[in-house]
Structure 1
Amino acid sequence: MEEPKYLRVIDNDREIGKILDSGDPIENSKRYIQFLKSNGLYVEQSKTKLMFNQARAFATVSRDIHQGNFIKPPFNQQAITPFIVNSAFACEMYLKALQSLSGEVEECHSLNQLFRHLPNKTKDKISRLSNDKSAHFKLDSRTTFKQHLKTISNAFVDWRYIYEQDSATANINVVLLILTVLDTYLCAELNQT
């Protein structure tokens, strides 16, 4: 008979326990969560926080694509589509996370529509933050956040199938501004709640 295998539970590079390896990743995940719960280590995250984490993950990938392909020549033109698609999806998730703070989350990809249905107080704060950060991205502060957002409102859908389009444009600095503003604002909101 084979010796049972155990998986180590690690926290901050330190083993804090072991779970019996079932051989099934899903079952092992359940055992891991049960271990955390039974030891008072499990932290339940809100749906909003999970949405924020997903948005931030896609935004991080977008920034990595930007850093690796658009900062210095030669520029990799093939990277623009993944940059735009990941950025647009990150924006969608940020906006849906903001919606979840105040009510129902819409099931759509239109960034304009998602933004339009945020509370006015939230839209005003986002607009002020956008004005404050515009100069950093070499953008005119007289252009509103809403106007910037309109330029990429349907980018998630459109850019995924860019080969079906005759042409498309996007201002990388506008995209970076939108990502930064939404991340900064939502991060501050979640730290308050």
Structure 2
Amino acid sequence: MINTILFNANEFFEAARRCDFPKGEVTKDNFPLMIPEFVNRAFACELYIKAIAEFTKVNIKKNHKLDELFKEISDSDQEAIYSLWRTTNGNNMIDSDYVRKQFWDNLEAITNVFVRFRYAHEWITTTISLEHSFTAEQFTKFSPMSASKPFGSPRVYSGFLKQFAISLKVYAEKLILFK
């Protein structure tokens, strides 16, 4: 079962990779792939977390919210994934309260990307982005345009989803395939 979950996660990860924009440039040819990229990447994250939970014998609820799923795996698994995110993917950030807050804020900001972008037709206007998909509560908490966002707070960014997915993939494969 664990290997099947991991295999499926890798398939969705690969689908997201194929939809990804080279050098982050959006063109008329790749613009239609933005939503499939977000949905596939978010679903890959969900499956990686569920594979880790299955491997470590953590009973995890059926849920699509990445922050809630992530909180269900062990603290040591969370810490290892956070460390990978912090030190790979071009980050090389020193551990600090600010960086931890950045990680958790971004995780909360992407928590429901799978559902939000799967149903993008319900909210989409002229702009497709993580920030434009925020719920009212998320806008108040995370948007730099929100008056409630304190000066000096970590920003949220759509690149976090990709970095988080890579970190989960690396950790899950190391944990499961190279046990």
Q: Is the 8 A contact 1:58 1:90 kept in 2?
A: yes
* Preserved CA contact (<8 Å) 2:55 2:176: no
Q: 1:82 and 1:139, CA in 2 relative to 1: closer, same or farther beyond 3 A? A: farther
**TM-score if structure 1 supplies the norm length?**
0.66
1:59 aligns with 2:13: yes
Deviations 1:111-160 (A, max 9, x none): 111001110111111111111025x1699972543332212111111111
Could you tell me whether the CA contact under 8 Å between 1:111 and 1:154 is conserved in 2?
yes
Match of 1:101 in 2: 55
Aligned with 1:169 (options 87, 109, 129): 129
Q: Offset at 1:108?
A: 0.8
Name the amino acid aligned to 1:183: K
Q: Return 5+ residue gaps in structure 2 as ranges.
A: 131-156
**Deviation of residue 190 (structure 1)?**
1.2
Q: Is the 8 A contact 1:91 1:179 kept in 2?
A: yes
| Matched letter for residue 7 of structure 2 | N
Secondary structure of the equivalent of 1:107? coil
CA distance in 2, matches of 1:183, 1:64: 16
Structure having the higher strand fraction is 1
Partner of 2:166: 180
Instruction: State the number of aligned residues.
Output: 145
% identity of equivalent residues: 22
Q: Which residue of the partner structure matches residue 128 of structure 1?
A: 83
Structure 2 residue aligned with 1:11: none
Q: Which amino acid aligns with 2:162?
A: L
SS in 2 for 1:97: helix
CA contact (8 A) 2:86 2:92 kept: no
The structural deviation recorded for 1:105 is 3.0
1:61, distance to aligned residue in structure 2 (A): 0.6
